Amino acid sequence: MELFITCPKGLEEPLLEELKLLGATSLKLTQAGVRADADINFAYRACLWSRLANRVLLLLDLVPAADAQALYDGVYAIDWLSHLRPEGTITVDFNGRSDAINNTHFGALKVKDAIVDAVRDKTGSRPSVDRKRPDLRINVHLKRDQAQIAIDLSGESLHRRGYRLLAGAAPMKENLAAAILIRAGVSATTEEMPELILDPMCGSGTLLTEAAMILADIAPGLKRRQFGFDRWVQHQPARWNELREDALARREAGMARNLPKLAGYDADAQVLDRARSNAIELGVEQLIQFERCDLASLNPESVERGLVVTNPPYGERLGEQSSLRFLYAEIGSFLKRHCGGWRAAVFTSNPELGKVMGVKAERIYKLFNGALASQLLIFNIFKQEQREARAAEFDASSALSEQAQMLENRLRKNLKALSRWVKREQIEAYRVYDADLPEYAVAIDRYGDQIVIQEYAPPASVDPVKAFRRLQDSVNVVGRVFECGADNIVLKQRKRQAGADQYQRQAQQGRTDLVREHGCLFEVNLRDFLDTGLFLDHRPVRKRIQQLAKGKDVLNLFCYTATASVHAAAGGAKSVTSVDMSATYLEWAQRNFTLNKLEGAQYQFIQADCLQWLDRPRRERFDLIFMDPPTFSNSKRMQDVLDVQRDHPFLVRSAMALLKPGGLLIFSNNYRRFKIDVEGLVQFDIKDISAQTIDQDFKRNSKIHVCFEVRSPENP
């Protein structure tokens, strides 16, 4: 039999070594797999025992495929009755394209037709299609003008072991986990096994359950309920059952051995419940200890030979990079503090994060996590590093660099300068620092007892590790100055946004806090979005709206979380109408009104694209309109693209048409190069009040927004 055993990219060589141990003698390394000349016993063993393979394909033929007819003829000529009962079921997995066949569905259809016609012409019976559980799964790989035709003996991918009933949001595939462990030296036959294998961020426990299977000599296919060969005509149940009985005996003997301890920790109790359920399903729950504990609090058992193996988060969403650098730095610190004399294997899909760990990798393996190019970093943690780490930890209280001390001095100076103003104005959310020192390009905002550090994205020319060290300084200084811990510090990265990205959810923590401003109470979410729900720089504009609103009908366009609307209502507005495209932010707006005990039919919340809403004829008129559009938006909910520089004349004219006699439009935006079209809006009196709307905490950043009052000439 000619077999092709497939695997994820990067696992070809370890798969070759594994297949040698399974008894193959004629093997050839290829891209994403290994070819083997072997018998049916080996095919069964590969399906049952391979920890690294995806599929075991029995190659039938390489047929011409210059066009659809040639493909049909080549498939038709294969002796399908030696593999399939006349009334059996099939499905076709087709991959690859050519000039003649550029649609995989069409290619699969031609192969299916050829098989069905060949069987029907010989027997009069017609096979049918069953995509879920076919008797025969045919695999076709098209390359240029040839197609490789194979039978998939594995059925569904072999990484599906049958034990993982519950997984986390981004689960690691089992064969990748096994590869990481094998590269880290985990083996049932190793003489010097580690005394402890530990995953400090274990998630749903895949690395540890796979480790248990390796150490206890449990066949990875033993729990699977079906294979692709179950209804194959040439299947030999007696041979298969003999191999399976042998695997059961090996499992029993392996479970009885004196095995290393396996320990998994995670801060999330919910994912630990999944990990326990998976271990129970596999029957290895007695081998693995799962415990809720975060990395900073973890103090592992002291052993001579230990192995740390983990797959930390790697950060795809905006703003995660800075936070994750701290996590990876903490991993490095954990290894040096607690793991002297151990080995460690850290798998990451973001090699830049690995650079901040402060531990030099002994070996680096290139692997793939799905389509993501990744690295497995292997470390030997020397005991000298452990002693040095503990000494540095003991002296950490005085470990600020000279530059960091300058940052601390500036932050304390700024706080002192703002203290009287903050008390007088009765505000709890304000900016304390905004890149005052060029070495520390961050903005630091205070929201009650929570501190938000926004890192301005460094240019590509800046060494990311050096930039991270400065961000570390910023966090340390903030902790010292505000006397707060890590739970009170929120890290974000501020960079140019496209469309509505600034409003997109960045995390799912759901935590909110409350802050006061000029007598109003607001809900802020400091962790889940790039913006917090309260634009600090618009504070004076909101205050002015509150002062002007008494007895007036007020309209707030692009209202976001309607903080300006709350100020208008608190100022005694007769009615307040708030318009925004986002249902999420309108719900938030309504919560802000409820917080301030502002309820009634006079407060309306309208979900609409403001451009379309303004473009429709309407009868209602307003005394005061506030409009603060985004600089640019191409949200999928909008029928058009908004560009504030291009579109502001339309916005202003449309808003002015809704004003009552004597009414006022307050128009603002945050585009730093904004120029108002005086000629296009010549019919209006326009007054630039930007300087009057910059509060004390934004004096260093006076171009953060522009603001105008717009009236009709006949309206005093």
Residue 507 included in any domain: no
* 310: its two tokens: 């983990």
> Which pLDDT band, with edges at 50, 70 and 90, does 125 fall under?
very high
Q: What digits encode the pLDDT tens for the residues 305-364?
A: 999 999 998 765 434 566 678 888 889 989 988 999 999 999 998 877 888 888 889 999
Mean pLDDT calculated for residue range 682-689:
96
Which own/partner contact pairs does 235-240 have at CB distance under 8 Å and 24+ positions apart? Answer: 236/40, 239/40, 239/41, 239/44, 240/44
Residue 618 included in any domain: yes
> By three-state DSSP, how is residue 322 classified?
helix
Residues 6+ apart with CB under 8 A from 476: 400, 404
- Out of 346, 368, 393, a domain closes at 393
**b (16+ CB within 10 A) / e for 575-607:** bbbbbbbbeebbebbbbbbeebebeeeebebee
Q: Are residues 561 and 479 in the same domain?
A: no
Q: Are residues 567 and 692 in the same domain?
A: yes
Answer whether residue 588 shows pLDDT above 90.
Answer: yes
Q: Are residues 322 and 464 in the same domain?
A: no
C-alpha 222/C-alpha 374 separation (Å) is 29
Q: Are residues 389 and 417 in the same domain?
A: no
Helix (H) or strand (E) segment spanning residue 276: helix 269-282
- Out of 393, 423, 451, a domain closes at 393
Answer whether residue 617 shows pLDDT above 80.
Answer: yes
* 11: its two tokens: 């696992």
Q: Are residues 318 and 185 in the same domain?
A: yes
Distance of alpha carbon 570 from the chain centroid: 40
Q: What digits encode the pLDDT tens for the residues 602-613?
A: 999 999 999 999
Q: Are residues 361 and 214 in the same domain?
A: yes
CATH classification of the domain holding 388: 3.40.50.150
Q: Return the pLDDT at 385.
A: 63
Task: For the chain, give the number of residues.
Answer: 716
Residue 502 included in any domain: no
Q: Are residues 94 and 70 in the same domain?
A: yes
Q: What digits encode the pLDDT tens for the residues 375-400?
A: 999 999 987 766 665 555 544 444 67
Q: Are residues 437 and 386 in the same domain?
A: no
Residues 6+ apart with CB under 8 A from 280: none
CATH classification of the domain holding 451: 3.30.750.80
Residue 612 included in any domain: yes
The domain of 314 spans 174-220+248-393
Residues 6+ apart with CB under 8 A from 428: 446, 447, 448, 515, 516, 517
More confident: 194 or 326: 194
Q: Are residues 317 and 370 in the same domain?
A: yes
Q: Which has the closest alpha carbon to 481: 419, 546, 548, 422?
A: 419
Among 266-270, 355-359, 656-660, name the one with the lowest average pLDDT: 355-359
Q: Are residues 388 and 445 in the same domain?
A: no
User: Do 432 and 422 touch, CB atoms closer than 8 A?
Assistant: no
Residue 240 included in any domain: no
User: Do 562 and 578 touch, CB atoms closer than 8 A?
Assistant: yes
DSSP string, 411-443: HHHHHHHHHHHHHHHTBSEEEEEES-STT--EE
Q: Are residues 302 and 350 in the same domain?
A: yes
User: Do 242 and 44 touch, CB atoms closer than 8 A?
Assistant: no
Q: Are residues 651 and 608 in the same domain?
A: yes
Total domains, the chain? 4
Residue 409 included in any domain: yes
Residue 230 included in any domain: no
Answer whether residue 233 shows pLDDT above 90.
Answer: yes
More confident: 619 or 299: 299
Residue 208 included in any domain: yes
- Out of 358, 393, 428, a domain closes at 393
User: Do 593 and 570 touch, CB atoms closer than 8 A?
Assistant: no
Full-prediction pTM beyond 0.85? Answer: no
Mean pLDDT calculated for residue range 251-259:
94
Q: Which has the closest alpha carbon to 698: 687, 709, 686, 706?
A: 706
DSSP 529: B
Q: Return the pLDDT at 499.
A: 38
